[in-house]
Structure 1
Amino acid sequence: MALAQAADNVNAVPSHIDTANRKNLALLIQLRWMAVLGQVVTIAIVHFGLRIPLPLAPMAMVLGALLALNALSHLWLRQHLHISSQALFSALLLDVAALTVQLYFSGGATNPFTALYLLQIALAAVLLPGRGAWLIVVVTCVAFVGLIGINQPLAVQPPTSLLRLHILGMFVCFVLGAVLLVIFISRMSRNLQERDTYLVELKRRAAEEDHIVRIGLLASGAAHELGTPLASVSVILGDWRRMPEISQNPEMLQELLEMQAAIRRCKSILSGILLSAGEARGEAPVVTSLHRFLDEIARDWSDGRPSGTLQYHAGSGALGEDTRIVSDPALKQVVTNLLDNAFEVSPGWVRLNAERRGDMLRIEVLDLGPGFTPEMLENFGKPYNSTKGRRGGGLGLFLVVNVIRKLGGSVSAHNRQPGGATVTVELPLAALEYREKDRG
Structure 2
Amino acid sequence: MSSVVNFRYQASDQLALLRMMGLVLKLCLTFAFAETFGLSLHSPALNTALIIEAIYLGFTFWLRKPLFNSDSGLFIALLLDTLLWITWLYFSGGATNAFISLLLLPIAIAAVLLPKWAPWSLALLSNLAYSVMLFTVPDNEMQHHGMDMRSHYLGMWLNFVISSLVLTTSVALIAKRLRRQEAELGYMREAQLRQEKLLALGTASAQMAHQMATPLASLRLLVDELKEDEGAQNITLDEMLLALSVCDTRLAELRLATESIRAGEFKFVTLAQLLDTLTQQVSLLMPDISLELKPSQQEGELRIKYDASLLPALVALIENGARASGEATGEQKVTLFLRQGQYGDEIIIAVRDYGHGIPDSLLTQLGHKIVESPKGMGVALMLSHASFERLGGKLILGSDLAGGTVAQVHLPLLTS
Q: Report the TM-score, using the length of structure 2 for normalisation.
A: 0.58
Contact 2:313 2:383 in 1 (8 A): no
Higher RCO, 1 vs 2 (CA within 8 Å, ≥6 residues apart): 1
Taking the TM superposition and a 5 Å limit, the aligned residue runs for 1:85-124 are: 85-109=71-95, 111=97, 113-124=99-110
Structure 1 counterpart of 2:137, one-letter code: P
- Which of these residues, 127, 150, 165, is aligned with residue 144 of structure 1? 127
- Which of these residues, 48, 52, 72, is aligned with residue 61 of structure 1? 48
Contact 2:317 2:351 in 1 (8 A): no
- The 1:400/1:366 distance shift into structure 2, 3 A limit, reads same
- The 1:337/1:110 distance shift into structure 2, 3 A limit, reads farther
Structure 2 residue 270 is the aligned partner of structure 1 residue 297: no
Alpha-carbon distance, 1:98 to partner: 1.6
- Which of these residues, 197, 207, 217, is aligned with residue 209 of structure 1? 197
The C-alpha deviation readout for 1:127-152, integer Å capped at 9, x for no partner, is 22xx2x32222232134224433687
Contact 1:276 1:330 in 2 (8 A): yes
Alpha-carbon distance, 1:116 to partner: 3.2
- The 1:40/1:127 distance shift into structure 2, 3 A limit, reads same
SS at match of 1:48: coil
Supply the distance in 1 between the matched residues of 2:293 and 2:411 (Cα, whole angstroms): 16
The C-alpha deviation readout for 1:142-198, integer Å capped at 9, x for no partner, is 342244336873662746446299569959x99xx9xxx9xxx9xxx9x98997666
Alpha-carbon distance, 1:301 to partner: 3.8
Supply the distance in 1 between the matched residues of 2:274 and 2:288 (Cα, whole angstroms): 20
Structure 1 counterpart of 2:251, one-letter code: L
Supply the distance in 1 between the matched residues of 2:318 and 2:155 (Cα, whole angstroms): 73
Identify the residue that residue 358 of structure 1 maps to in structure 2. Answer: none
Identify the residue that residue 153 of structure 1 maps to in structure 2. Answer: 137
- Which of these residues, 319, 327, 350, is aligned with residue 366 of structure 1? 350
Greater mean deviation of Cα atoms: 160-169 or 298-307: 160-169
Identify the residue that residue 386 of structure 1 maps to in structure 2. Answer: 368
The C-alpha deviation readout for 1:315-336, integer Å capped at 9, x for no partner, is 4x55459xxxxx9855533543
Contact 2:219 2:240 in 1 (8 A): no
Supply the distance in 2 between the matched residues of 1:169 and 1:332 (Cα, whole angstroms): 75
Contact 1:237 1:260 in 2 (8 A): no
Contact 1:414 1:422 in 2 (8 A): yes
- The 1:230/1:200 distance shift into structure 2, 3 A limit, reads same
Alpha-carbon distance, 1:424 to partner: 0.9
Structure 1 counterpart of 2:77, one-letter code: A
Q: Which 5+ residue runs of structure 2 have no aligned equivalent? A: 261-269, 341-345, 353-357, 373-377, 401-406
The C-alpha deviation readout for 1:220-240, integer Å capped at 9, x for no partner, is 9x79x99xx789749836845
Alpha-carbon distance, 1:100 to partner: 2.1
Greater mean deviation of Cα atoms: 94-103 or 194-203: 194-203
- Which of these residues, 17, 23, 26, is aligned with residue 36 of structure 1? 23
- Which of these residues, 63, 67, 83, is aligned with residue 76 of structure 1? 63
- Which of these residues, 259, 273, 279, is aligned with residue 254 of structure 2? 273
Structure 2 counterpart of 1:294, one-letter code: L
Supply the distance in 1 between the matched residues of 2:319 and 2:351 (Cα, whole angstroms): 11
Structure 2 counterpart of 1:269, one-letter code: R
Structure number with greater Rg is 2
Structure 2 counterpart of 1:124, one-letter code: A
Identify the residue that residue 436 of structure 1 maps to in structure 2. Answer: none
- The 1:312/1:50 distance shift into structure 2, 3 A limit, reads closer
Supply the distance in 2 between the matched residues of 1:53 and 1:258 (Cα, whole angstroms): 101
Alpha-carbon distance, 1:294 to partner: 3.0
Q: Which 5+ residue runs of structure 1 have no aligned equivalent? A: 1-14, 280-288, 322-326, 356-361, 377-384, 405-410, 430-440
- The 1:168/1:17 distance shift into structure 2, 3 A limit, reads closer
Alpha-carbon distance, 1:265 to partner: 3.1
Taking the TM superposition and a 5 Å limit, the aligned residue runs for 1:232-381 are: 233=220, 236=223, 239=226, 243-244=230-231, 246=232, 261-262=242-243, 264-277=245-258, 294-298=275-279, 300-301=281-282, 303=286, 307=290, 311-313=293-295, 315=297, 318-319=299-300, 332-333=311-312, 335-336=314-315, 351=336, 353=338, 364-366=348-350
Identity across matched positions, percent: 19
SS at match of 1:273: helix
Count of paired positions: 355
- The 1:42/1:342 distance shift into structure 2, 3 A limit, reads farther
SS at match of 1:156: helix
